Structure 1
Amino acid sequence: MNIGGDDNMMPFLLAELATLENILPLYVYCLGSHEQKHLLRPEGYPAHQLFLCRNGRGIFRMANGLDMVMTPGTMLILPAGVSHEYFPVQGEDEWELGFVAFSGSAASPMLKQLGFQKPTPLTETQFNELWDKLESLWQLISLNGECGYWTASRRMYDMLLSVLEGQSDQEVKQNVNPAGQSNAALQKAVKLIHAHYNEHLHLSNLARAVGYSIQHFHRLFVGSYGISPQQYIQQIRMRRSIQLFQDNPAITIEKVAHQLGMETSYFIRIFKRTYGQTPKQFMKQYK
Structure 2
Amino acid sequence: MMPFLFAEFAMLDNKLPLYVYCVGSHEQKHLLRPNGYPAHQLFLSRRGKGIFRIQGSRDMVMTPGTMLILPAGVHHEYFPDQSEEAWELGFVAFSGSIASSILEHLGNHNPTLLKNNQFQEYWNKLESLWQLINLNSESGYWEASRKMYDFLLSVIEGQSDQEINQRIKPIGHSNAALQEAIKLIHDHYNERLHLSNLARAVGYSVQHFHRLFVSIYGMSPMLYIQQIRMRRSIQLFEENPSITVEKVAQQLGMETSYFIRIFKRTYGKTPKQFIKYE
Separation of aligned partners in 1, 2:8 and 2:163: 36
Separation of aligned partners in 2, 1:54 and 1:22: 33
Residues 106 and 18 (structure 1 numbering): CA distance in 2 closer, same or farther, change over 3 Å? closer
In 2, are the aligned partners of 1:16 and 1:146 still within 8 Å (CA)? no
2:62 to 70, 82, 89: 70
Separation of aligned partners in 2, 1:92 and 1:171: 35
Structure 2 residue matching 1:12: 3-state secondary structure: strand
Residues 66 and 93 (structure 1 numbering): CA distance in 2 closer, same or farther, change over 3 Å? same
Specify the code of the residue in structure 2 equivalent to 1:143: L
Mark the runs of 5 or more structure 2 residues left unpaired by the alignment: 167-278
Is 2:51 aligned against 1:59?
Answer: yes
Residues 33 and 172 (structure 1 numbering): CA distance in 2 closer, same or farther, change over 3 Å? farther
Partner of 2:114: 124
Structure 1 residue matching 2:159: 3-state secondary structure: coil
Separation of aligned partners in 1, 2:11 and 2:24: 23
Partner of 2:102: 110
Separation of aligned partners in 2, 1:96 and 1:35: 5
Separation of aligned partners in 1, 2:153 and 2:146: 11
**What's the CA shift string for 1:162-202, capped at 9, x where partnerless?**
1122235455899xxxxxxxxxxxxxxxxxxxxxxxxxxxx
Specify the code of the residue in structure 1 equivalent to 2:135: L
Specify the code of the residue in structure 2 equivalent to 1:75: M
Separation of aligned partners in 2, 1:140 and 1:165: 24
Alignment of 1:4-19 (within 5 A): 9-17=1-9
In the TM superposition, residue 144 of structure 1 has moved relative to its aligned partner by 4.2
Query: Sequence identity of aligned pairs in percent?
Result: 73
Alignment of 1:30-109 (within 5 A): 30-109=22-101
In the TM superposition, residue 16 of structure 1 has moved relative to its aligned partner by 1.0
TM-score (norm 1): 0.54
Separation of aligned partners in 1, 2:84 and 2:48: 6
In 1, are the aligned partners of 2:40 and 2:72 still within 8 Å (CA)? yes
Partner of 1:141: 133
Separation of aligned partners in 2, 1:31 and 1:168: 25
Separation of aligned partners in 1, 2:122 and 2:10: 28
Of 144-153 and 32-41, deviating more is: 144-153
Partner of 2:199: none
Structure 2 residue matching 1:82: 3-state secondary structure: coil
Residues 168 and 81 (structure 1 numbering): CA distance in 2 closer, same or farther, change over 3 Å? same
Of 44-53 and 161-170, deviating more is: 161-170
In 2, are the aligned partners of 1:123 and 1:167 still within 8 Å (CA)? no
Residues 106 and 168 (structure 1 numbering): CA distance in 2 closer, same or farther, change over 3 Å? closer
**What's the CA shift string for 1:197-236, capped at 9, x where partnerless?**
xxxxxxxxxxxxxxxxxxxxxxxxxxxxxxxxxxxxxxxx
TM-score (norm 2): 0.55
The number of aligned residues is 164
Residues 153 and 68 (structure 1 numbering): CA distance in 2 closer, same or farther, change over 3 Å? same
In the TM superposition, residue 14 of structure 1 has moved relative to its aligned partner by 0.2
Alignment of 1:1-287 (within 5 A): 9-17=1-9, 20=12, 22-115=14-107, 119-125=109-115, 126-167=118-159, 169-171=161-163
In the TM superposition, residue 140 of structure 1 has moved relative to its aligned partner by 1.1
Specify the code of the residue in structure 1 equivalent to 2:43: F
Separation of aligned partners in 2, 1:115 and 1:73: 18
